[in-house]
Amino acid sequence: MIELAENRYGKSRVRLMKVTRHDHGHDLREWTVQVLLKGDFDSAHLHGDNSKILPTDTMKNTVYSLARSSSATTMEDYAKELADFLLGRNPQVQSASIRIESTLWKRLTIDGKPHPSAFMRGSGELQTTSVERTQGGAIQILSGLDNLVLLKTANSGFEGYIKDSLTTLPETKDRLFGTAVSAEWRYTSSDLDFDTLRTTLRETMLRTFANHDSKSVQQTLYAMAESALEAVPEIDEIEITRAGQSKRNLRPHRRAARVYRSARAAKALRLTRLATMTGKHTDRAARIISRCRQIATCTEVPGEITRLFLPPPMHEVHALLRDWMEAAGMTVRVDAIGNLRGFWPGLKPGSPRLLIGSHLDTVPNAGAFDGILGVVLGVAIVEELKGHLLPFAIEVIGFSEEEGVRFSKAFLGSLALVGKLDAGTLARTDRSGISVRQAIEAYGLDPAQLPAAALANEAFAYLELHIEQGPVLENEDTSLGVVEALVGQTRIELIFAGQANHAGTTPMHLRHDAMAAAAEWIVAVEDYASSHNGLVATVGKVEAAPGAGNVIAGKLTASLDVRHADDRTREASVIAILKLAETAATRRGVHVTSTKQLEQPAVPLDPHLTALLNKAASQAGFPGRRMTSGAGHDAMILAPTIPSAMLFLRSPGGLSHHPDETVLPQDVEAALATAMEFLAQLRDDDRTNPRDGHA
């Protein structure tokens, strides 16, 4: 069948019997081979030169003769050879697609013994492969299993008839479910041990089917696909299709669809690895680190890394990031507060939008990674997509200001996104009397455009990657931490009022020593916090009066800082700690008073996104430690408005806000791998469902 109008021709359904000999006799497999060639056959015929075009009757013989002479033992290897051969013989051909289906013939059992040479056709289960090769060598290998008819029963004591193997009767529906399944996966290389991998995939999927504890077929199929992806790193995509009520999914049509590469069946569950990563020191990680170091050279104080709010060197930072973003295919803008924003589109215009960001500013004499690493990683995430479009768009944001150094007001960049940058803030001045508004104008931006900095309606989630800035991950020898909440904080000033008196003449039992009362309390604070999970409490400052070596302290002023991720725990702890002060004071006839100076509630991050991020880290091979952030971050500002999640990378030495601040390449790779897996989780997640709009 030559279809010149369609510029393609081929041969459908050449049948072969593949015989494998071994000690006990031989095994039999039936192969059905289909060939489809695409190319400019029209012009070949019009110019009268069709001598190089293989006629279809010859093609059938080619399939046979190559099968006889080939040393390939797997369908995939044979299909590669056949495609190569056909491309070599037909220069007009642009691509050759070979699809093979293989079914096992079973040895007949006669008188209870397997017969050495007699067979019958076995179950309907098929092994499939589709190899497509183009002139020039590009190759794609899909393999699969077709028509696995599966049924699960519970050991419920049920006995009797069911309607058929795929339909359950109402009275048995809790005990039985069955489904007919096809799986097809894509190999990442064309040189693999295909039969062994197929066996592993088949066993993994069947094991998951048997053991997965769910009454939903859909969920079970999803789990099967996940387990297959996890078990075999040599595949990067798997599609599991169920033969549902719609006959569209049935085999004859799907075969045609595959060979002709038209639209896929609608009811497909597809999981794709967006990228394969190793957790080792890689070029990718090295490039990210060197970009951070390159940005660190943009500074307002030579010899240091210092970038406060929108200094002239921030133009260089923007230029570097803009170059990298544009090279990755993103469109870039700077909003009116100076946030740099790179946009990577989704599958459709107006797709939901995932924000990935962190900050571009630093504290004075800072390190090279606090903040900036999260932005550079955001760019790397889009680079890793290699042009792949997701059901959601991605906006990578470099926030202009987070540290709050220049105007003693933190988070200017993220506040603009959530519309909380008020007139009062714009009027704040720095030490030279320059206002926020003036600083914006001096940078060349227009404060009147601030409303346009607000986050897009399409935004459905925010992800921030940031160094831990603490010793927890290093102490546990872990790359990553999944942040559950940014802690709340209470700051209190306490005054212990006793009686100042002569250090020599006042006997011990007649003293009212404010210093001793405070000292006992300070140690009690340390004990209390140490014995309460997740609580940190600090007395960082004491001031004694009159403050002389030969005078009993009459008055002592002490600071108290209490932090916890859970506000109620923090509040209860503050009450308990104040009571401890009371106890230590009363014992000495000292009077204690307290004044609350700051109370800031905890900011929980989105539990569902956090669970997805945690899962992503595990799947990427870097189980994250769940933790709280003791410091503030842009995620704190965004979380009340948009579901947010945050990933910490280990801080070597627990060091930050210091020129020696650094990050390990393997942790950067782990964070990137986790982020890519997180994108896949988001894409496949029903609850977040960014396909349909807001979460």
The contact set with Zn ion (CB under 5 A) reads: 370-371
Residue 119 and residue 106 in contact, taking contact as beta carbons nearer than 8 Å:
yes
Burial class (CB in 10 A: 0-12, 13-18, 19+), 516: buried
Question: Between the CA of residue 462 and those of 137, 280, 681, what are the distances in Å?
Answer: 41, 27, 14
**Encoding tokens for residue 46?**
């019009």
Angle between helices 313-327 and 372-384 (to 10 degrees): 20
Please report how close the Cβ of residue 230 comes to Zn ion at its closest, in angstroms. Answer: 34
Minimal distance in Å, beta carbon 633 to Zn ion?
6
Rounded-to-integer distance, Cα 70 and Cα 32, Å: 16
Shortest spacing between CB 634 and Zn ion, in angstroms? 8
- Our CB check for Zn ion shows the closer of 371 and 398 to be 371
Q: Which is nearer to Zn ion, 405 or 544 (CB)?
A: 405
Q: Is the peptide bond before 546 cis (omega within 30 degrees of 0)?
A: yes
Q: Per-residue DSSP letters for 88-126?
A: HH-TTEEEEEEEEEEEEEEEEEETTEEEEEEEEE--S-E
Residue among 468 and 684 whose Cβ is closer to Zn ion: 468
Least distance from Zn ion to the Cβ atom of residue 563, Å = 17
Answer whether 478's CB lies under 8 Å from 650's CB: yes
CB of 402 to Zn ion, least distance (A): 6
Q: Which is nearer to Zn ion, 371 or 498 (CB)?
A: 371
Contact between 661 and 627 under an 8 Å Cβ cutoff? The reply is no
Phi, psi of 349 (to 5 degrees): -60, 140
Shortest Cβ distance from residue 583 to Zn ion (Å)? Answer: 39
- Nearer to Zn ion among residue 9 and residue 369 (C-beta): 369
Nearer to Zn ion, 39 or 413 (CB): 413
Q: How far is the CB of 360 from Zn ion (least distance, A)?
A: 10
* Least distance in angstroms from the C-beta of 86 to Zn ion: 58
- Nearer CB in complex with Zn ion: 403/684: 403
**Residue 410 DSSP one-character state:** -
Dist CA 420 CA 412 (whole Å)? 9
Question: How far apart are CB 631 and Zn ion at their closest, in Å?
Answer: 7
Angle at the Cα of 220 (from 219 to 223), degrees rounded to 5? Answer: 85
The DSSP code sequence of 382-433 is HHHTTT---SSEEEEEEES--S--SSS---HHHHHHTT---HHHHH-B-TTS
359/625 with CB nearer Zn ion: 359
Within 563-654, residue ranges assigned H as helices are: 567-586, 607-619, 634-638
d(CA 111, CA 219): 44
Residues 96, 64, 126: CA angle, nearest 5 degrees: 70
In the complex with Zn ion, the residue whose CB is nearer, 151 or 418, is 418
